[in-house]
C-alpha cells in the first residue's frame, strides 16, 4: 500500500513520471525558445526581402511565421499541461535558443538560407524532445512534436527545391 502511494507521488497530474516530465519540459522550453527566434527571423525576412522574388517570398514567409505562431502556442500550452512554466521573455529566448537571431537579410538567397538553417536546427531540437517524450511514455507530446517535424521537413524540402540546393 505504502509502495503504491510512493509511485503516485512520483507522477504528475497527467500520470507521467515527474522527473522525466520535468526533464521533458526543459527540452520543450529550449524548443519554444528556438521557435520564437525562428519566428522573429521569419518576420524580418518577410519585411526586408527585396528583388524579383519579393512577392512570392514575402507571402511564403508570412505563411511560415503564421504556422510557427500556432506551434509556439501549442508548445507553451503543452509545457503548462506538464506542470511547467513556458519561457516568455526575449532575454530568456535568446539565452536558450539554438536558433540564432539574424539581422538585415534582404536577398532571396540569404533569407531562404536563413530559414532553411533555422529549420534544420529546429528539426534536430525536436528529435531530442521525441527521444525524451518516448522515454517518459508521453504520447501526446510525441504526437505534437511528430506532427511539427513532419510539416517542417516538408517545408524544408520545398525551400531546398526552390533554392536548387
Ligand atoms: Fe505583412
Contacts of 91 (CB under 8 A, 6+ apart): none
Mean pLDDT of 48-54: 98
Q: Quick one: pLDDT at residue 120?
A: 98
Q: How far is the CA of 57 from the centre of ligand 1 (A)?
A: 11
Using left for φ > 0, alpha for ψ between -120 and 50, and beta otherwise, residue 137 falls in: left
List helix spans (H) across 10-107: 18-48, 54-81, 90-96
Q: How far is the CA of 46 from the centre of ligand 1 (A)?
A: 7
Q: What are the domain boundaries of the chain?
A: 16-163
pLDDT tens digits along 54-88: 999 999 999 999 999 999 999 999 999 999 999 99
Q: How far is the CA of 108 from the centre of ligand 1 (A)?
A: 17
CA 155, CA 151: separation in Å to the nearest integer? Answer: 6
Separation in Å, CA 19 to CA 12, 51, 83, 129: 9, 51, 12, 15
The CATH code belonging to domain 16-163 is 1.20.1260.10
Q: How far is the CA of 41 from the centre of ligand 1 (A)?
A: 13
Amino acid at each position: 500500500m505504502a509502495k503504491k502511494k510512493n509511485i503516485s507521488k512520483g507522477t504528475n497530474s497527467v500520470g507521467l513520471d515527474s522527473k522525466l516530465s520535468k526533464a521533458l519540459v526543459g527540452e520543450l522550453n529550449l524548443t519554444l525558445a528556438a521557435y520564437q527566434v525562428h519566428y522573429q527571423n521569419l518576420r524580418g525576412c518577410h519585411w526586408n526581402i527585396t528583388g524579383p522574388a519579393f512577392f512570392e517570398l514575402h507571402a511564403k514567409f508570412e505563411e511560415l511565421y503564421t504556422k510557427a505562431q500556432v506551434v509556439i502556442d501549442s508548445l507553451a500550452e503543452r509545457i503548462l499541461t506538464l506542470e511547467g512554466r513556458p519561457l516568455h521573455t526575449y532575454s530568456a529566448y535568446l539565452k536558450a535558443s539554438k536558433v540564432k537571431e539574424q539581422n538585415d537579410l534582404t536577398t532571396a538567397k540569404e533569407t531562404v538560407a536563413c530559414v532553411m538553417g533555422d529549420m534544420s536546427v529546429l528539426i534536430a531540437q525536436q528529435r531530442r524532445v521525441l527521444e525524451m517524450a518516448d522515454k517518459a511514455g508521453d504520447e501526446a507530446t510525441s504526437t505534437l512534436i511528430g506532427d511539427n517535424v513532419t510539416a517542417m521537413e516538408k517545408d524544408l524540402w520545398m525551400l531546398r527545391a526552390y533554392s536548387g540546393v
